Amino acid sequence: MGVNLPSEVYYYTTADTFMKIIRNRTFRFCSITSMNDFTDGQYYFTTIIEWAKRHNKEKVLELFEYHQNNRDDDDLVMCLTELDDDAAQWERYAAKGQGVSLCLRSEELNKKFRSFSSGCIGLHKVFYIGKNPADWIEENEPAILSYLDMIENGQSLDPIHFKDKKELALNLQKKGVSFKHSSFKSEAEYRLHMELNLLKKYRSARVYEDGYFCKDGLVTKYCDIWFTVEELSDIIHQVVLGPCSTQMESDILNFVNHEGFNWNAEKIRKSKAPLREY
């Protein structure tokens, strides 16, 4: 499902997280198991399981139920959107409109990650699966269904694509990161997806730091990617102050430049969303 990326994507967050991004010069990726959609990363598997149940595919059902219940936590994401100055995003992700939105240049993001991650990190559009998962997969994934039929019939998979059924399941687990339940469709999400196990294999620890922290009351895995001042300045087109924020644009500019950046006033703007403060 190849798609053209928008020229800019947006990261809605709190003022505190924004300060950490600037001060530490990092973007934080978090485990997909900690997202507000508790089916995140699993819903694509759910479509396969529902299809297998509908058609009595016992071998497929056994394989995918096992992998759904035994997935690793090395799929980390940073969630973005194509929606600029969106009231729902402000309310849900940016302290009810008191936080900030970072306007990020998509091509600069991809350039940074292509330069050092060997394909371990990529920017992807999120697709939304309808309310009837089995119908959705029959309509949209005929090639995948042909492989599932081969598994059910005990046939060898095409070695050019997958050497065995375990490799197919793991591949679809990674693919599932780009699919969510249709109730989140209005978020128009894009996400940066990291395969942490591959990043550790190919890259020096000097460009990242990983571990665990507490997010919204949950202990979850994270990985911080480090940037230079120049790289962050190229990636961040603008900082947008939330519609309910009382922060002065000049204060944000002074803070950023105090941290070693050399931005001008055009980098900072105020939201125009008419969001009422409660």
Please state the domain extents for the chain: 8-270
CB atoms within 10 A of CB 179: 24
Q: Specify the pLDDT at position 243.
A: 96
d(CA 148, CA 194): 26
pTM here?
A: 0.89
Q: Per-residue pLDDT tens, the chain, 278 aa: give them.
A: 456 889 999 999 999 999 999 999 999 999 887 887 877 878 888 888 889 899 999 988 888 888 777 776 788 999 999 999 999 999 999 999 999 999 999 999 988 887 776 678 889 899 888 878 888 888 888 888 888 888 888 887 766 667 777 777 777 777 888 888 888 999 999 999 988 888 887 766 568 889 999 887 888 899 999 999 999 999 999 999 999 999 999 999 999 999 999 999 999 999 999 988 77
Count of Cβ atoms closer than 10 Å to residue 217 Cβ:
7
Residue 217: predicted pLDDT: 83
- Segments of 178-253 assigned E as strands: 179-181, 189-195, 208-215, 218-226, 236-241
Cβ proximity of 14 and 95 under 8 Å:
yes
Which residues, listed in sequence order, are joined to residue 224 by a DSSP beta bridge? 28, 209
Report in angstroms the alpha-carbon separations of 6 from 74, 81, 199: 27, 10, 26
Q: What's the rounded Cα separation, in Å, for the pair 184 and 236?
A: 26
Q: How many CB atoms lie within 10 A of CB 164?
A: 11
**According to the model, what pLDDT value does residue 197 have?**
83
Query: And the tokens for 253?
Result: 């500019």
Report pLDDT for 4. 81
How far apart CA 206 and CA 182 sit, in angstroms, is 39
Check residue 125 and give its pLDDT: 92
Q: What is the pLDDT of residue 159?
A: 67
Burial track 236-264 (b if 16+ CB lie within 10 A, e otherwise): bbbbbbbbbbebeeeebbebbeeeebeee
